[in-house]
Amino acid sequence: MLHLFRQFLTSFSLVIFLFTVAGCDTGEKAVRAEYENYTFDQLVIDKLPLYDSLATAIIENFPSFAKYIKNEDSYRSFRYIPDSEDPDVFIKLPSAAAPKITPYYDRIGKEFIYGFDVFKDSSIKILVRARLTPKSEVDIVENLSYYSGGNIRDRIFPEKDTTLNKNWQYWAWFGKRDLF
């Protein structure tokens, strides 16, 4: 009887493994397809002057953010996402910086920005949007990164990028949610 149970358990485990591998392959194909067919949103690119003004306001107020950036924090940045419920994320701007930053943030609009990160080196990542594609259920997270020193790095799969100018890179990350 024990031998039959072990045989069943081995067969069952093999079936589960095969379904998992098949699901991963399908997920990888879906991610690749979204990656290859993705085009950067021209409306985001058209708003680059507003994003540039926002970046300038952030950099001019960098000391207001820098004092909150701790090496032991998970993001190692000042991460501002006003609609977040994550305790590691700031939902309010520093009081000295808020009046200079909020007008640009509001002009860009919620459909084109949901937050930003300010890093120790004064680079900035604008969180443009995150969405789940309805058909393939692939997550696509769009970002704009500002590099004042122009040290833009090329991104590789599962990230796709385009350089907009010497300071700005528009990039997207593609991923499939876990099966379990």
Residue-by-residue pLDDT tens, the chain, 180 positions:
444 434 433 443 333 333 343 444 578 899 999 999 999 999 999 999 999 999 999 999 999 999 999 877 667 899 999 999 998 899 999 999 999 999 999 999 999 999 999 998 889 999 999 999 888 889 999 999 999 877 898 999 999 999 999 999 999 999 987 633
Cα angle 3, 6, 8; round to 5? 110
Instruction: List Cα–Cα distances, 7 to 3, 10, 39, 119, in angstroms.
Output: 6, 5, 50, 55
Measured distance CA(107)–CA(79) in Å, rounded: 20
Residue 71: its pLDDT value, please? Answer: 79
Which one, of 64, 52, 66, 127, lies nearest residue 99 by Cα? Answer: 64
| DSSP label at residue 154 | P
Confidence (pTM): 0.81
SS3 35: helix
Residue 135: its pLDDT value, please? Answer: 85
Question: Tokens representing 94?
Answer: 């520093």
Residue 146: its pLDDT value, please? Answer: 97
Residue 13: its pLDDT value, please? Answer: 38
